[in-house]
Structure 1
């Protein structure tokens, strides 16, 4: 009671999870007046993660005409070449390797709302069913499908979810 919170990525993960768990346990908690320090956000604000920052870090140059297609394309290429030189033990100059290495999740849809788990099952990657097999959720909570279709989700997400549902009905 009365404490403030600090963590790494805590504003997006730990604090929401903590509040959800308190509410799930029937404990009414109001922490809106508390202070939240997210060390990851500080890191990202001070160590910019932009093409201009990467260009400066890896190539030692300022990016002129940032956000123009030609300048951004050239800078991206130069940054990639510099990364290959900078991390020779970690990176290979191979498209398939770099594609796998640069992937954060194994997305089923482009938005990453559904991903493949370690067993190549399609699972939800958000919300109350995060980590649950999509086919299981569609069987046990058919309203979730309608909620997604009516919600503010990418068309690609809706398209793939619909295809999974149609494939289930065929089986």
Structure 2
């Protein structure tokens, strides 16, 4: 059971980009819980559309169902901030991947309107994504025990660890009813990323850079506006070269 010492707001933000510094919010969902003697009580709910004052990418529309037209007539963030602030100004926050995305995004939006993000200085941000990582360690021994219900004896013996890895992989395939070649499974692991290092990601018809000082820019933007950096990346990061050629080969 969760024991609240002050209000706790669960939040989720939908936005135009994956980079929280450049993204613009298009939807805000919040639930505010307050402490009561036997736990917590839902005190308020917020469900708002926000005009990002820019186009909503097709990839975001496919994910959220929200189009540019759907949010165009909603109030922009500077007009929504007055509805958001009272819910969070005295509260801790909770959200899935909120530490890496939702909180930086919300802070960036408040910065754009020359306001500080409301909230206590000792605010706690509870992220179930991070909590899951803490509760379910991903060491080889932990995975082996989870999938086999047995302890991994002789862990850190090279051959024993190799055998255990094979066992885990087979159990994963069976549990999730997966079938395919190693390349198929590697594609599943990468998702929208083009490379195993997760440096390039497909976003609709665009390919976005996911590292370094130009994180969030598309390859085309990088080539046009920062040619020296683009050339350095192309020349020195060998595993990205085929993906760059494929993404930009039509021009």
Which sections of structure 2, spanning at least 5 residues, go unmatched? 1-88
Q: 1:60 aligns with which of 149, 152, 164?
A: 149
- Is the Cα contact below 8 Å between 1:111 and 1:157 reproduced in 2? no
Q: In structure 2, which of residues 137, 146, 169 is the aligned counterpart of residue 80 of structure 1?
A: 169
C-alpha distance after superposition, 1:113-132 (max 9, x if no partner): 2223343x432125786554
SS of match in other structure, 1:5: strand
Q: Deviations over 1:126-168 (max 9, x none)?
A: 57865542121332245765998xxxxxx9649848x96xxx8
CA RMSD of aligned residues (A): 3.6
- Structure 2 distance, partners of 1:157, 1:136, is 18
Larger radius of gyration: 2
CA gap of 1:53–1:14, structure 2 versus 1, over 3 A, is same
- Contact 2:144 2:151 survives alignment (8 Å): yes
Q: How many residues align?
A: 157
Q: What is the rounded CA distance, in whole Å, between the counterparts of 1:136 and 1:62 in structure 2?
A: 51
Structure 1: 5+ residue stretches without partners: 149-154
Is contact 1:113–1:157 with CA below 8 Å preserved after alignment?
no
Distance 1:22-1:128 versus aligned 2 partners, 3 A rule: farther
Greater share of strand: 2
Q: Structure 2: how far apart are the matches of 1:2 and 1:43? A: 26
1:10 equivalent in structure 2: 98
Higher relative contact order (CA 8 A, sep 6+): 2
Taking structure 1 as reference, are residues 93 and 142 closer, same or farther at Cα in structure 2, changes over 3 Å only?
Answer: closer
Q: Distance in 1 between matches of 2:226 and 2:214?
A: 10
1:135 aligned partner: 220
**1:112 paired to 2:198:** yes
Q: CA deviation at 1:49?
A: 2.3
* Structure whose residues are more often helix by fraction: 1
